[in-house]
Structure 1
Amino acid sequence: MPNLKSQAVFGLVWTFAQQFGTQLVSFIVSIFLARLLLPEQFGLIGMIAVFIHVGDALLKSGLTQSLIRNTDIEQDDYATVFYYNLGASIILYFVAYFSAPLIANFYEEPVLTPLVQLYCLVFIISAFTAVQQTRMTIEMDFKKQTIISIPSIIIGGITGIVLAINGFGVWSLVWNQLVTAVIRSIQFWIYSDWKPTWEFNVKKFKVHFNFGYKITLSTLIQRIFANLYILVIGKFFSAAQVGFYTRAETMKNLPVTNLTMALEKVTFPLFSKIQNDTEKLKRVYRKVIMMVIFVIAPFMLSLGVLAEPIFRILFTEKWLPAVPYFQILCISGIFYPLHIYNSNVFMVKGRTDIFLRLTIVKQVLLVLGVIVGLQFGVLGLMWSQVVVSIVSFFIIGHYTSKMINYSAWAQILDILPMLGVSIFVAACMYFLDLYINKASDIVRILTGALMSIVFYLGLSYLFNFKTLMDFKDLIPAKKR
């Protein structure tokens, strides 16, 4: 039997391959689509994002998290959750279908009615795979998930590009997602050795529901309020502004969300196995936090400095208004992993009640931030995200301290040296870019990237950052 460390390392390699492989393909597809389509067309999809994300939160419910956390799962557990997800997805689709005209009226965009009615079919398609994917996650079989995900993204992406070339406009974005979901669902049924049996255990449903409904409610609240910015921008500004914001948000999420979620897929089942050893959980958690910030902080700040040439070379001049949005979001992106992993502690410890209460507190802060930020336009809304993210982190960290004795201030002190070096390197990049700003975009990007890597790694070695050794320990030693 492989030990926890070897399982985690192996799982980490494949979940990174899945997360970044699929996102790299998606990113390449988005580059082609961004060149072929207008910001307004992306803005239309952005306007319905909140409803898609709400549905996704319901289907990727806390019931599947309960399956991962529980160490004594049987066939009827899986079947029960499967039929719940399937039934919920059908109900959810019809709610979305009949609500579509109301959504279109809210934004005063009639085309949103058929868009919502077609796009939301993805709910039912995805419900067929939730349990199969959960089983693979429990088994830490991320290799198989990678093999499933990448072809799905490629086929869906090719479909979207072909339709965009042939003048389908915003519909190419919808069919891109639907085809991806269909191909993915088919493959999960082919590769998974689990098939649902005709049984539904009410008693076990209550067990999983009692654990999971708080996570589901928390996720729902998070998804709704995370898309509050899109709702507000779509209502008070133009579809193009929504397009610029969603493009900036997508660019920010490429490194931040993917690195965080890739690690979360491995660390949540790993943390669950050591949930009763608080000292060990704290040790492993602290190491994960420091490793993530070691990578995320310099990367996000560097991207912010080089945002203008990056956007121009990838998406063309028409997307440059998204640059200041992206630069501000890069700052809030650094705190995103801290939110996710602190929240994981509550779930691992079974304190979903705290998780739910803190989610509500965060969203109250978010609403206050939106109200204040709106007074200063779209950029004011962006800066409100940064402030809310920082304040929320300290509130969550207060409760994390009670769970594993690792407070927000202790976490800040641990990551402060890496943040300081990252800011210094970004400042050096900024002045270097000012000096060579007459050069081509490629030269600016390559020069800035090379300088930041050399400076950051060099200073990390000079200051003897322990995290460098932690990364080295992940590399398997050669057998003699």
Structure 2
Amino acid sequence: MSFKQKVINSVFWSAAQGLGNQILSLIIFAVLARLLTPKDFGLVAMANVFLAVLQIFLEQGFTQSLIQRQELDQDYLDTAFWTTLVIGVLMTLFGVMTAPLFADFFHQPQLTLVVQWLSLLCFIFSLSQVQQALLERKFAFKVIATRLLFGTIIGGFIGVVMALRGYGVWSLVTQQIVQATVGTIVLWKVSDWRPRWYFSRECYQDLSNFGIHIFGFKIVSFFNDKANDFLIGYILGAVALGYYSLASRIFSIVTQVVVKTSQDIALPAFSRLQNEPERLCRAFSQATQFTSLIAFPTFSGIAVFAPEIIIVFFGQQWLSAIPLISILSLMGLLRSVTYFTASVFVAMNKPSWWFQLGLLKMFFNLIGFLIAYPFGIVAVTWAYVIRLYLAFPVGQWAISKLLKITWGEYLRQFIPSFVGSVIMILVIYSLKILFNYWLFSPVFILIFGSLFGAVVYGLAIYLIAPDIIQKIIEIVKIATSRKKIET
């Protein structure tokens, strides 16, 4: 199979299976949200902040380093595996021992056991990092999606059963542990690579030299992505964090479906093209354009239908999360066209640029939180989104320098999806006003409005840029064809 067909097949089938997996995750999440309280979700969100710190030290950028390398031998794999495993054990022990201090800091005694049990995830994750990297190098994203699906089904089933039996926050804790364990078992089952008892200082040094910048960026990313959870939980409390975590989870699930699948495939694909700048530039442009075609209408629709989504899926106790979902959707619009920035930096051997951009976002995020937190959770969410828009010009300048692509060329490719989304929003918002006046149910508004909006958006794209529709048809044909295609 040619490189082009391999990439398209990976995107197509990974996206298809990823969509099913995320829909299933959303259903399980919605059921748990109806059975549990915002405080339960807030407590687990607090514990996950601590877990995110441990995971930073767990990986150290080894996964990206293994994927990025043009040539990879057994010595590197063995060294990365045993290093990650030892760190995973140490992080688990550290989490168990320091959990009481973390719980005291938040004035939540119940957090001690929650953090101690979730610390086991560090050991579980350490067993899967190298296997995951190998599968991504081979573009085996169908296998990865299958792994996630099994973990989601079994972990979700056990979590829901425990919630029905009144286990509260422990339903969420058990769900995460079971899901990670099942996923790791499946990963080892489908992979034929096994580690030897071998460690090389030279390989470790080589991996570390590349990974140190990614490790630094992950520290910065923690402040960008988890600092809000930490500060909201500490200053505004577990209930406020529960509302924010639900909105963030919805945003995360949608991002996984419309953006993250393509990003995972982008790193190994871009890495193969690092010595062919023209092809890399074309691949980057096509990836961002096709992602925006899906992401723009999706996040726009979520912003408009946020009240109906909460009422239909999660229940009245989550109404306070409605404005947070709408605000985070604005971040989704921009993130969908900047998600490939990190993959380009890593593929072009510029991880330090990724780190520096993360530092800028962290600075904006902390300043924004300090200004916004006295005004409540809605203001904090606005500040979180605004910092991404402030950092966008800097990231785009770096991409333009690496790929020799002008601002005009870059932004022009988003015109069809942007205009189509604006037309769609105007139509479905007008429909919502009529439906609410006629007292139609939220279920009807959500279903009919979404379907009608999709039709309107599709027609708009066809009229604005029919050539894009033709490209999509060609990609689908390639993805479903068994014939080999020349690159």
The alignment's TM-score, normalised by the length of structure 2, stands at 0.94
Structure 1 residues 169 and 440, CA gap change in structure 2 (3 angstroms): same
Aligned to 1:335: 334
Aligned position for 2:372:
373
Query: How many residues were matched structurally?
Result: 479
Asked whether the 8 Å contact 2:217–2:355 carries over to 1, the reply is yes
Amino acid at match of 2:250: M
Instruction: Show the counterpart of 1:449.
Output: 450
Q: 2:396 — aligned with what?
A: 397
| Aligned-partner Cα distance in 2 for 1:78–1:479 | 32
Give CA-to-partner distance per residue, 1:255-279, whole Å, 9 cap, x none.
2233222001212111111111111
CA 465–389 in structure 1, closer or farther in 2 if over 3 Å, else same: farther
**C-alpha displacement of 1:385:** 2.0
Contact 1:294 1:467 in 2 (8 A): no
Q: CA deviation at 1:407?
A: 4.7
Shift of 1:195: 0.7
Deviation of 1:144 after TM superposition, in Å, equals: 2.0
Give the aligned partner of residue 260 of structure 1: 259
Q: Write the deviation string for residues 70-122 of structure 1: whole angstroms up to 9, x where unpaired.
A: 12111111110001110111111222222212221221111001110011101
3-state SS of 1:475 partner: helix
Alpha-carbon distance between aligned partners in 2 of 1:308 and 1:65, rounded to the nearest angstrom: 39
Task: Name which of structure 1's ranges 88-97 and 417-426 shifts more when overlaid on structure 2.
Answer: 417-426
Q: Distance in 2 between matches of 1:470 and 1:120?
A: 46
- Deviation of residue 424 (structure 1)? 2.8
C-alpha contact (below 8 Å) 2:266/2:343 kept by paired residues: no
Determine helix, strand or coil for the equivalent of 2:414.
helix
Q: Which stretch has the larger CA shift, 404-413 or 168-177? A: 404-413
Distance 1:222 1:343 in 2: 12
Question: Which moves more between the two structures, 38-47 or 181-190?
Answer: 181-190
Tell whether 2:80 aligns with 1:81: yes
SS at match of 1:436: helix
| Counterpart contact for 2:372–2:379, Cα < 8 Å | yes
Q: Greater CA deviation, 416-425 or 83-92?
A: 416-425
* Counterpart residue number, 2:108: 109
Aligned to 1:307: 306
| Paired residues for 1:80-479 under 5 Å | 80-408=79-407, 410-437=409-436, 438-476=439-477
Report the alpha carbon displacement of residue 18 of structure 1 after superposing the two structures with TM: 4.2
- The TM-score, its normalising length taken from structure 1, stands at 0.96
Distance 2:124 2:290 in 1: 36
1:33, 1:161 within 8 Å by CA — same for their partners in 2?
yes
Match of 2:45 in 1: 46
Amino acid corresponding to residue 366 of structure 1 in structure 2:
N
Tell me which amino acid in the other structure corresponds to 1:439.
F
Q: Is the 8 A contact 1:121 1:178 kept in 2?
A: yes
CA distance in 2, matches of 1:131, 1:479: 30
Change in CA separation of 1:257 and 1:153 when aligned onto 2, cut-off 3 Å: closer
Query: Would you say the 8 A contact 1:36–1:165 is kept in 2?
Result: yes
- Bigger mean CA deviation after superposition, 52-61 or 109-118: 52-61
Identity %: 27
Measure, in 2, the Cα distance between the counterparts of 1:264 and 1:305. Answer: 26
Cα drift, residue 457 of structure 1: 1.0
Tell me: CA distance 1:111–1:423, structure 2 relative to 1, closer, same or farther (3 Å).
same
Q: Aligned partner of 2:444: which letter? A: V
After superposing the two structures, state which structure 1 stretch, 411-420 or 267-276, moved more: 411-420
- Structure 2 letter corresponding to 1:128: L
1:62 maps to which residue?
A: 61
Aligned-residue offset at 1:147: 2.7
CA contact (8 A) 1:41 1:170 kept: yes
Residue deviations 1:364-395 (CA, integer Å, cap 9, x gap): 11111112222422111111122111111111
AA partner of residue 343 (structure 2): N
Segment drifting more, 362-371 vs 51-60 = 51-60
- Offset from partner CA, 1:439-459 (integer Å, 9 cap, x none): 011210122112211211111
- State the AA in 1 paired with 2:447: L
Query: Using the alignment, how far apart are the partners of 2:249 and 2:406 within structure 1?
Result: 30
Q: Which amino acid aligns with 1:313?
A: V
Deviates more, 1:369-378 or 1:54-63: 54-63
2:15 is matched with which residue? 16
- Residues 307-363 of structure 1 deviation map (CA, whole Å, 9 limit, x = unaligned): 111111111111111011100110011111333211221111101111111111111
Q: Distance in 1 between matches of 2:224 and 2:234?
A: 15
CA contact (8 A) 1:15 1:266 kept: no
1:364 and 1:410, CA in 2 relative to 1: closer, same or farther beyond 3 A? Answer: farther
For 2:126, the aligned partner's letter is A
* Structure-2 separation of matches of 1:102 and 1:479: 57
Between 1:337-346 and 1:291-300, the stretch displaced more is: 337-346
Counterpart Cα distance in 1 of 2:13 and 2:424: 31
Q: CA deviation at 1:143?
A: 2.1
**TM-fit CA distance, 1:68:** 0.9
Q: Structure 1: 5+ residue runs without aligned partners?
A: none
Task: Measure, in 2, the Cα distance between the counterparts of 1:307 and 1:233.
Answer: 22
Quick one: which amino acid aligns to residue 362 of structure 2?
Q
The 3 A distance-change label for structure 1 pair 232 and 274 is same
Aligned-pair RMSD on alpha carbons?
Answer: 1.7
Which digits, 9 at most, give the CA deviation of each residue in 1:165-190, with x for residues without a partner? 11111011001111111122222222
User: Any conservation in 2 of the 1:103–1:113 contact (CA below 8 Å)?
Assistant: yes
Q: Is this contact kept in 2: 1:82–1:131, CA < 8 A?
A: yes
Q: Distance in 2 between matches of 1:479 and 1:407?
A: 37
Q: CA deviation at 1:408?
A: 5.0
